[in-house]
Amino acid sequence: MKDVFVPELTGTLAVVTGASDGIGLGLAVRLARAGAELVLPVRNPVKGAAAVARIRAAVPGAAVSVPELDLASLASVASLAQTLTAEGRPVNIMVNNAGVMTPPTRHTTADGLELQFGTNHIGHVALVGRLLPLLRAGRARVTTMSSSAARTGRIDWDDLQSERRYSPIRSYGLSKLANLHFGLELDRRSRAGGWGITSNVAHPGTTLTNLYAAGPNLGRTRPAPHAAIMKRLARWGVFVQTVDAGLLPALYAATSPHARGGAFYGPDGFGQFTGGPTELAVYRAARDESDAARVWDVSQRLARVEFDAG
């Protein structure tokens, strides 16, 4: 598979969420190899320390910090943003990668939001909003990770929090469609407001990561079959790719001088399951700019941020 050329990034600061394992960790290694200084906010400090060790084993002397962040808590987001703002370092690259996928029963964040919508989408909206001055100062490239699940996702305006009816896959698709709307709308708002931020969206295809164990096993007494099925498909080389392949669309979107703002990147293979990075047509569900504007407004309110004041 064709690799992604990453330009020299010495002197740049990159913030990557969800980098304690999987695609986020793989992205962090690639960014460190190109010379970027890394801020990798993590929920679990033990996993964060292990990630730093793996990065420095691959890139001796890499500059890495792992402040605590729980995207399922707006107070935690505000605390991290306050710390980074006090440090005052412009942010040049931001990858909104962390997430939770398809817990079998409905869970909520510390702020009462449905866990997938609150973590995958609202937590990142809050973080980007609170870091907006640093992103503007760094003329940042912001890449938000969506999913092919956004293709069949639907925004249920009367039940955003899945309180009336919870379906793991439906709620995940909603959160990933909201990610796609947000990433595209952020670029439109930046261009209209002269913010200097370039925003795009990527998805990793079907990539074997810990997501297939962590989310589906949440609240279960017996292991869900998802991870075992994914590992079997990966061994067979069918519809599943490795982390090193799955990270390439996001890496291209976040670093390539040829990657555009307002664009959507993912695998070029059959069904977008696997393949090399390419620019994709935006899914039909995310083409209505009035829906995107509505997602933007609702998300600001739920995330307790005001972008236009940034």
Asked if 279 and 260 touch (Cβ cutoff 8 Å), the reply is yes
Residues, the chain, total? Answer: 310
Query: Which phi and psi angles does 42 have, rounded to 5°?
Result: -135, 150
Query: Which phi and psi angles does 64 have, rounded to 5°?
Result: -135, 135
Please indicate whether residue 172 is annotated as part of the active site: yes
CB-CB neighbours of 231 under 10 Å: 14
The H or E element spanning position 121 is: none
Alpha helices, H only, 226-308: 226-236, 243-246, 248-255, 289-303
d(C-alpha 20, C-alpha 55), whole Å = 10
d(C-alpha 13, C-alpha 64), whole Å = 10
Asked if 264 and 201 touch (Cβ cutoff 8 Å), the reply is yes
Of the candidates 172, 212, 252, 283, the residue annotated as catalytic is 172
Which tokens sit at 190?
């930046």
Asked if 54 and 43 touch (Cβ cutoff 8 Å), the reply is no
Nearest to 181 by CA among 102, 296, 261: 296
Residues involved in catalysis: 172
